[in-house]
Structure 1
Amino acid sequence: MTQDTALATAVAALRAGGVIAYPTEAVWGLGCDPDDASALTRLLALKRRDPAKGVILVAADIDQLAPWLTGLDAGRRATLATPCDTPTTWLVPDNGRALPLVRGEHDRVALRISTHPRVVELCRAFGGPIVSTSANRAGEPSAMSAEEIHAVFGEGAGGELDAVLDGPLGGHDRPSTIRDLVTGRVLRD
C-alpha cells in the first residue's frame, strides 16, 4: 500500500467513525474523530482506559484548534501556537465544545499541535484535530512499532482497528509534556 493510499484509508476510517493507529513524536497513538461519541467510546474500550481520564486532541496547526480556544486571550493563543523543543500538550479551559469523553472528569481540554510530519499530514487530510492517546491497553507499555500495534490490536477484518497509518516515530524518548496554559503548571514532564 502506498503512503497516499494508507493516508486515504486512515482518513476514511476516521470519517466513518473508526479507530486508527499512527506514529507520533515518541510512541504510537490511537485516534478517532473527537466529535464522534461512539468512536470515543470504542477507543476507550479498546484501551481499557477509564473515561474519567479524558484524552488529548492533536492538530496540524492552531487554526484546527480554534473551536476549543474561544475565550482565550491572544497571549495564551500565541503560547499554544509557539513550537516547543519537546512535544507539549496544553490544558485549556473547556469552553463547552469538547465532548465529555474528551475532557473526562476535568474542566480542561488537552490540546497539542504536532510537529510530526505524519500526524500533521493526517490532521490536514482529515480536516481537523484527532484524538491522540498512547496505543496500549491500560497499564501496559505503549506500542513502539506497527508490528506491536498489529500484535496487540490487529487491523481490519478480525482486528480491533480500522486502519494503521505506518511511519516512523518522531525521535523523542517520552510522551508529551503536559502543561496548564492558564497557570503554567507542569502536570507531566
Structure 2
Amino acid sequence: MAGELALRLAGRALRSGGVVAHPTEAVYGLACDPLDARAVARLLALKGRSVEKGLILVASSFEALRPFVAVPDDAALARAAASWPGPVTWLFPAAPTTPRWLTGRHVTLAVRVTAHPLTRALCDAFGGPLISTSANPAGRPPPRSAVAVRRYFGTSLDGVLNGPLGDRARPSEIRDLVSGRILRAG
C-alpha cells in the first residue's frame, strides 16, 4: 500500500499538471486535475481517447463535486448519496461552468464518491476531485496491477501509486441521475 510520502508526492505531481495512476474499486485508473486543460489533454492523449466521450470525476466527498454539477432536486441527490461512498457513478446535469473537456458532447457529468481508501486519500492529498479513467490505451484491457500500468505507459506517467484494488470484478456501475436508468452495469 502506498505510504504517506508516496501520497504527498502524487498530490504534488497532480497539482503541477501531472498524470498519476492509482488503484480503484476494480482496475487501475489515471488521474489528473480536472481544471487543468493541459493535464486533461495529456491524459486523453496517453489513452488515445476522444474528448467527446467525457470523463469521470471521483472525490472523497460530494461537497468536492458540487461545483461541477447541478442538483435537480433533493430526492435525486438522496438517490446518489444512498450509493456513496461506493462503486456507483452517477450522471448529474453539469453546472454551466463545468469545462467541456470534462463533459465532452454531453450535458451531464459522471461523478462518484469513491469508497476505495487509496483513491480517497489521493483526492485528499491533491485537495479536491480528480479525473479517474481506466489506465489503459483505448481498445486494450484495463490493468489490474501497477506492473500492467507500467507496461502500457512506461515512464510517461508522473507517478504510479501501488496498492490493492477494491473487491469489484468490473468497473463502476453508471446511472443517470434524472431517469435512474443504468447505462453500464457494475
TM-score (norm 1): 0.93
Change (3 A) 1:96 1:114: same
Q: Give how far 1:171 is off.
A: 1.2
Moved more, 167-176 or 95-104: 95-104
Query: Residue 41 of structure 1 aligns with which residue?
Result: 41
Query: Residue 161 of structure 2 aligns with which residue?
Result: 165
Query: Residue 150 of structure 2 aligns with which residue?
Result: 150
Which of 170, 174, 186 is matched with 1:174 structurally? 170
Change (3 A) 1:13 1:85: closer
Q: Give how far 1:101 is off.
A: 1.2
1:59 and 2:59 are equivalent in the alignment: yes
1:69 and 2:69 are equivalent in the alignment: yes
- Residue deviations 1:42-83, cap 9 Å, x none? 000000011110110001011111112344322222222223
In structure 2, stretches of 5+ residues that fail to align are none
Q: Percent identity?
A: 50
Count of equivalent residues: 185
SS at match of 1:150: helix
Which amino acid counterpart does residue 150 of structure 1 have in structure 2?
A: R
Q: How far apart, in 1, do the equivalents of 2:163 and 2:108 lie? A: 31
Q: Give how far 1:28 is off.
A: 0.3
Query: Residue 185 of structure 1 aligns with which residue?
Result: 181
SS at match of 2:123: helix
In structure 1, stretches of 5+ residues that fail to align are none
TM-score (norm 2): 0.94
Query: Residue 117 of structure 2 aligns with which residue?
Result: 117
- Residue deviations 1:110-158, cap 9 Å, x none? 001100000111112212110010000000000110111111112xxxx
1:31 and 2:31 are equivalent in the alignment: yes
